[in-house]
Amino acid sequence: MTLTFAALGIDHRHIFGMAGNMQDVGATFKSWWTEGTPGTEDGFVKRFPDVPKASRDDILVDPEIDLILISAIPRDRAALAIAAMEAGKDVMVDKPGCTTLEQLDAIKDCQTRTGRIWSVDFSERFEVPSVTKATELVQAGAIGKVVQTLGQGPHRLNRGTRPDWFFERDAYGGILVDIASHQIDQFLFFTGSTDAEITLAQVGNFANPDDKGLQDFGEIALKSDQGHGYIRVDWYTPDALPNWGDGRLTILGTEGYIELRKYVDVGGPEGTDFLVLVNGDKCEKIHCADAGLPYFQNLANDIANRTETAMPQAHAFKVMELGIKAQMMAEGQS
């Protein structure tokens, strides 16, 4: 049976990768809806010219649609996901999956009641082939037991292309909820942790003082019974870098380490998805662009088989819980 999906909300360009990757595994993109006319719409229509726009209600009641993709304004994602699950659809939502603990509790309740899948596409893991290769190496024991991850998530501000909501704290949820959810996901995954303690959480606005709602710097330290993690995210990518950010992940093990140079390798060869492996036998750089993106096929299989191979449901909930609690700690909320 062919998987059929629709989109509710295209406010963030992540919808391009979400939809495109589902098409690549054979799913049919039937229809889409979004609130208003976001700046992404022209590019979206050019990318998916044969997919018609429909009403929100028509998408929700369409019996042919199995999966709903959501890349709306972050504060609106929880309500759309709940509506989709209550309509009998599984959900893939762009990160952050929600922005408050109250939203997360409502999502958990709905997921439990309906038995639907609520999956967050953490694109810095699921859409990065070098992470696929790192996963294979870690699971094969190439660096021993993982004891720490160091995740860096720099981004370019691109002020001229940003919508108003991008600068509204309550709309995007704060920099730790938004960007750092990627690195929290990777910490839990690579250390094999199911929970963690937040030992440090800070945010700041150091370069954009006129934008009162923007946080342009954030950091988190985490520890669990499996390992430790440090995360730094920011909106400071300089103009000379050829892409939006020099995102990196270092995975430290008891017998070696892996460093992922995901999007650019400054001073090295052109291209993306370079991995450095150092252990007792090897000290090498591996180009991983062809390593694949198994999340999307795994999610399709999970929808068909009611399994959790793409991402355990509890993991999706825990990442967002930790991101929201880190944000609250950084802002002095109880």
Per residue in 217-233, pLDDT (tens digit) is 999 999 999 999 999 99
228 belongs to a structural domain: yes
**Are 132 and 111 members of one domain?**
no
**Are 282 and 211 members of one domain?**
yes
Residues 184, 230: Cα–Cα separation, whole Å:
9
Are 145 and 251 in contact by the 8 Å Cβ rule? The answer is no
**Are 146 and 249 members of one domain?**
yes
**Are 31 and 145 members of one domain?**
no
Residue where the block lists tokens 């309906």: 114
**Alpha-helix runs per DSSP H in 115-256:** 123-126, 129-139, 169-172, 175-178, 181-191
**Are 9 and 27 members of one domain?**
yes
280 belongs to a structural domain: yes
**Are 230 and 154 members of one domain?**
yes
Q: Are strands 4-8 and 67-70 parallel, antiparallel or unpaired?
A: parallel
Q: How many domains would you assign to the chain? A: 2
320 belongs to a structural domain: no
* CA angle 108–109–111, rounded 5-degree value: 65
pLDDT of residue 7: 98
**Are 192 and 72 members of one domain?**
no
Q: What does the chain come to in residues?
A: 334
Q: What are the residues whose beta carbons fall under 8 Å from the beta carbon of 124, sequence distance 6 or more?
A: 131, 153, 182, 183, 185, 186, 247, 262
158 belongs to a structural domain: yes
For the chain, which ranges sit under pLDDT 70? 334
First to last CA, the chain: 48
Tell me which DSSP letter residue 291 carries.
Answer: S
Residues 114, 87: Cα–Cα separation, whole Å:
9
209 belongs to a structural domain: yes
**Are 105 and 151 members of one domain?**
no
298 belongs to a structural domain: yes
**Are 82 and 57 members of one domain?**
yes
Q: Which amino acid is at 198?
A: I
Pair of tokens at residue 172 = 């995007």
Per residue in 123-173, pLDDT (tens digit) is 999 999 999 999 999 999 999 999 999 999 999 999 999 999 999 999 999
**Are 117 and 152 members of one domain?**
no
Cα 324 → chain centroid: 14
pLDDT of residue 1: 73
- Enclosing domain of residue 11: 4-121+294-312
- CATH code assigned at 80: 3.40.50.720
Residue where the block lists tokens 């108003």: 164
Classify each residue of 207-234 as buried b or exposed e, where b means 16 or more C-beta atoms within 10 Å of its C-beta: ebeebebbbbbbbbbbbbebbbbbbbbb
Residues 311, 302: Cα–Cα separation, whole Å:
9
Residues 333, 322: Cα–Cα separation, whole Å:
14
132 belongs to a structural domain: yes
**Are 141 and 272 members of one domain?**
yes
**Are 114 and 131 members of one domain?**
no
| Report field, pTM of the whole predicted structure over 0.85 | yes
pLDDT of residue 334: 64
pLDDT of residue 255: 98
